Each structure stands twice: as C-alpha cells, then as structure tokens.
Chain A
C-alpha cells in the first residue's frame, strides 16, 4: 500500500530549486534519504511537512491531497537533530502535548504515554525537565512525542547527527525496535551511510535538488549507477572514460568492459577495491609511483601516480614514498557509471 505519493513537486527557495520530485513511499517502509549538503533533503522533508509551499506538483497522503493542507492538519510526525523539546514542560507533558491536540481524555492519554515510554525505555524520565536529560535521552523523548500520536508518516531530519557514536548505535537499535513494534512509515534524512545500511528498506539519493537514484539499499550501495552517488559512497577513484586513454582502455579490455568506453561514462572503484603489490602480481595491472602516504586506523592510503592518472589506493602493507608499485585490478570490483546530468 502506498503511504505517500509525491508528484512533479517543485519548491523554490531563494536561489535553490527542489525538484521536480517524483517519489512513492510504501506504507510501513523505512526510507533513508541520502545526499551531500545542499542537495535538498531537508527542503523535501519540510515540503512534505507543509512548511514550504511547493511551486507546483502534488503531495498525496493515503489518497488524500495534502499539498495545501496546513501542517497541523497533516498528521505527519517530525523529529529534528536538535531534539527541540518544549523547555517549559516536563517530559510527560512534552509527550502528552500531541495527545491533547487530538482531544483524547486523560485516561487515554496516560495509557498512550505509558505504552510509548515503555517501548522507548524512558519511563524513568517522565517527570524530568528537558534540561536534565542527555542528548540521547532528549532525542528519545522527541521520537516518543512524535510517535505517540500515531502519525501517518514520521519524518526524521538527521536525528542522529548531534549524538556520540555509542549513543548513535543505541538509538539505531531503538529505531529498529520501534519500526518492528509500530507500523509507521518513516522518511529519515541522513548523511550517514550506516543509517541506510542498518535501518532502511529503501534508499533515496538526492543531488542538486533532484532524486537521482532510489531503490534497495544493498543493491544501490553495491552497484551505484551514478558518478555522484559513487562519490558519496566513498568511491575515491572516478575516471572519465575516453577512447584515447591507453591505461584505462587496457584495464577495461582485460576486464571485458571495453564496450562501456564512451565519452560520458566513468570508471569508479573504492581505494580498497584494488591490490597494491611491489611487483606485478596479476595480469590486469598498472605500474605507478607512490607520491603520498596517509596513515589510517587499519592501514595506509596511498596516492599512486601512473603515466596518465592519480589513484587513491588502500593497503595494509607498507610501501615507501617514491617507490614503484603495481596496482592490481579486480574486474568484479570495477564499476561503470554515468553522471547524473546525463541520466
């Protein structure tokens, strides 16, 4: 069942244009929207919420056109990265606020507060003031406050950004639990790939105000279709293909990818997708010289210069600066993608 349909949506903000956006959100799905800063993720979220009025297009929530409906009439939950708790109320009143707006009686409100606080493990916080809570606790309360009214869609705007890594992990576990326990459709804007890995049922990738890739998380992360998404995923080696580049031509021919050589395609691979050897260690290899070394937690990042290119390569082995090395390419790890502007 479709929870939300966005059709030809265009929103203009000063010099930035979002869209046209076309997106279908399935009910009870967990959608993670990824994209670099300024790609329009939050603008899209706030247009769905009703804060930004679209220039054109339509937003349909469970078959109801909500494009021009005020925020308070949409029943869309919203959680931000700054927690934004109401400081003039304690935790219980924060959670109760939405229930009061729904005009539920005291008994119903109490029962719902009990249910959500038990699900999120925050029963012991109910009588505290927001200022007495840690960042992680505040975010839990903020999620509880949004979820308690059973929103038709819950929008999460980088909810884990301001949190420590440990708290972040814990909150991801809780979010997973919430998704299982509550049948809620979630749209989660993030710039952490881990969120997409661990939580999403679908990924949407935005770039310069447009959705340029969407689909199954594992498939998308393993087989990016665009240069921009590849770059975002950490494919540091992005090479524009042309027919006169003998190095790449040779690599692709050996990898049986020579048909992909066209002016608009790119060869992309991650630093860890190739092997660095002192001597030639496979057939499909290139010789180069190490120009720069950066130490990482689990090994080294080498900048290797060949006759035509500079490659960024990861290896656990130690190589000296200016030494000659061989880059061994694994054909299965090489991807051919196109620029989003070409699609």
Chain B
C-alpha cells in the first residue's frame, strides 16, 4: 500500500476532505449521544426493566448470529463454489432483506406464521407462534441481518484456491473432512466477523420488532426488546431519558463489538 503522507496532491487532498466530511457525519451524532447520555449510563444499567430489555435483545441477536453461521455458511459455500441455474435468483433472494423496509419484514413474518395463510396452519398445529415471542423476534431479526454473514462467508471461501480442496480430497479426505480441516480453519475469523456484524445489526433492529414482537413474554412478565424500550422511554419520558438508555445500549454494543474483534484477531498478530 502507498504511504498517504508522501502522496499528497490535489486529488489526494480532495478525497481526504470528502472522506473527513463523511466520517464527521458518522461520528458527530454518536459523539453527541455519548456526551449527553454519558452521565446516565450507569443509572440506566441499574434499571431492571432496561437490563431485562438488553437480556432479551442479546438472546434474540445471538440466536440470529448463531443461526446465520449454521445455515449461512453452507449457503455461502454453495454460492462461492458452484455455478448452477437460477444462481442469480438465489443471490438476489439473499440480498432482498437489505432492500425491504423493516416494517414490511415484520408484516411478512407475522403473515407467514399466521394461522390462516401459507404454512401458518401447520405451524399453529405444532404450537409454533411468533407473535410477541422470542422465536418471532429472533426470526424477524435473522431475516434482516443474516445476509452479512452469508456474504462474508461467501467472499472468504472465494478467496481460497478451489484446487486446495481437490488436493485434500486426492489425499483421501472426504468433502466434509476437507471443509472442517482445510476450509474452516482458513475462514473462521472472517465468518466470526460476519456473525458479529449480523449480531450488531440484529441488536439494533426495531422496525420489524414493532410488528412481530413489540414486547416478548418472558416467563410471567412482558419485556420490551431494547430498541423498543428506548422508543417507549422517548415517547413516555422524553428525549433526555431516551438518550441515557440509548447511550448505554450503544456503549454495550460497541464494547462487545470491539472486544470480539480483539479476541478474533489476537492470534493473527
């Protein structure tokens, strides 16, 4: 890579200015939120309802991240390694969740699992209900956030020479053994990074949850997922209260995100 300092000219100057404007656009609202809300972070974390909301959100987003790895890795592998009819259709299908408004995704999930449409009657027969349940919330956020893991898995598999798999098989390893002994050790960091993106995206989801699980039933109580909790506090208690909870949520998400990234990259360095 080139050294940016040594390359300064009009072009580099312009791209630096434009980049800084964009970075400021990202950082400014975050900085204001942290500054204004920082004093209330500790108090927010002592609020039992908010902690329950974070707990529910973590369950939902962690199940989304885990299922994205379990089901997304095979899908990423197929797309990376094989050509087949209608591959473009499948690739579009994977990207669709990013395109559809989140509220609509919520409606889609409710409709798909309702007792009257599609496979809904079968689900209902087996007691599978998505409205205001952890399952429904997890399905909604999975739908919206799994694309990141699939795409990261796909591109990291594409980065591995396919001949390596042939060689492994020529040495007597089955396809499954090759995947676990040769492919996975080379891509696990990227996959975990993708899962982390899925997790972070799922944690911050609100739109679909408004429809599917505005609150979830946890034992005998009802708990708001944290984005809904913040919305409720904004509507009911005002901006400053909502800012405190928001700052606390953002601090937790960013801490987890950074911590995981450090752990993932620890051995590499």
Q: Could you tell me which A residues sit within 8 Å of B by CB distance?
A: 46, 49, 51, 70-72, 74-80, 82, 84, 86-88, 97-98, 101-102, 142, 145-146, 149, 151
Contacts and interface: CB of A to CB of B under 8 A. Distances in A.
B167 interface: yes
Contacts of B173: 72, 97, 101
B170 interface: yes
B172 A77 contact: no
Interface stretch (B9-17, B50-58, B158-166): B158-166
B186 interface: yes
B172 A101 contact: yes
B185 interface: yes
Contacts of A74: 170
Contacts of B100: none
B171 interface: yes
A72 B170 contact: yes
Contacts of B133: none
21 contacts: A46-B166, A49-B166, A71-B166, A71-B170, A72-B170, A72-B172, A74-B170, A78-B166, A78-B167, A78-B170, A79-B167, A80-B163, A80-B166, A82-B163, A84-B163, A88-B182, A88-B185, A97-B168, A97-B173, A97-B181, A101-B172
B174 interface: yes
A98 B185 CA distance: 17
Which 3 pairs, one residue from A and one from B, show the smallest C-beta to C-beta distance?
Answer: A101-B172, A98-B171, A88-B185
B171 A84 contact: no
Interface of B: 161, 163-164, 166-174, 177, 181-182, 185-186
Nearest to A78: B170
B168 A76 contact: no
Contacts of A98: 171-172
Contact of A149 (B169, B171, B182, B185): B171
Contacts of A149: 171-172
A70 B170 CA distance: 9
A84 B170 CA distance: 13
Contacts of B181: 97
B135 to A, nearest CB: 37
B161 A84 contact: yes
A176 B161 CA distance: 28
Contacts of B163: 80, 82, 84
Contacts of B169: 70-72
A45 B101 CA distance: 50
B164 A86 contact: yes
B170 to A, nearest CB: 4
Contacts of A76: 170
Contacts of B167: 78-80, 84, 142, 145-146
B174 A72 contact: yes
A78 B162 CA distance: 13
Nearest to B169: A71
A71 B178 CA distance: 12
A145 B167 CA distance: 9
A304 B75 CA distance: 61
A77 B170 contact: yes
A94 to B, nearest CB: 10
A76 B171 CA distance: 8
A283 B42 CA distance: 106
B43 to A, nearest CB: 47
A22 B80 CA distance: 34
A145 B171 contact: yes
B168 A86 contact: yes
Contacts of A101: 171-173, 177
A97 B169 CA distance: 11
